Amino acid sequence: MTYDFTPLFRTAIGFDRLARLADTIPQEAASYPPYNIEKTGEESYRLTLAVAGFSAEDIELTVNDNALIVAGRVAEAAKGEFLHRGIAARAFTRRFVLADHMVVEGADIANGILHVAIKRVVPESAKPRRVAVVDANKAPVELPQAA
């Protein structure tokens, strides 16, 4: 049997273990705006959203409790008569779950594409460290006393 875990990776950034991912699967299945999540390095990721019609002032990024929230709201444009309106300019909110120690480094928008740089920054206290093992059967070594 084979399993397709692709749906599990749609809104989670930085999870390398399936067990940690399974606990944080979002229940919403919004599809606007479309986005990509790509791994750009060993510990870095890039979230790309297609936000045609939005400017930097229309986009708000918030990081709160291991969640990245991207919201967009376009100010009312001049009213006109549309014969066809295919470019969506509706407000949106997308929520992405971030793994522990994920940091949003920055964001830029150009040509209707929003790029958000995300990196895993593990603090020294959370990194694995070696612990010396001492043989309890050996006599302790006495250091000479300073005079």
Cα–Cα nearest to 116, from 53, 70, 67:
70
Q: What is the pLDDT of residue 128?
A: 82
Tell me the per-residue pLDDT of 41-61, one tens digit each, with 9 for 90 and over: 988 999 999 998 888 999 999
Residue type, 115: H
CATH class of 6-77+85-125: mainly beta
Cα–Cα nearest to 68, from 22, 104, 42, 40:
104
pLDDT of 19 higher than 50: no
DSSP letters along 76-140, please? PPPP---S---S----EEEEEEE-TTEEEEEEEEETTEEEEEEEE---GGGS--------TTSPP
Domain residue extents for the chain? 6-77+85-125
Averaged pLDDT for residues 101-113: 91
Instruction: Look up tokens 């043989």; give the residue.
Output: 135
Q: In the numeric block, which tokens belong to residue 105? A: 């480094």
Distance CA 65, CA 10 (A): 19
Q: What is the pLDDT of residue 137?
A: 81
Distance CA 92, CA 70 (A): 8
pTM of the predicted structure, to 2 decimals: 0.63
* Residue-wise burial string across 58-82, b where 16 or more C-beta atoms lie within 10 A, e elsewhere: bbeeeeeeeebebebebeeeeeeee
Distance CA 33, CA 50 (A): 6
Is residue 121 very low, low, confident or very high in pLDDT (cuts 50, 70, 90)? confident
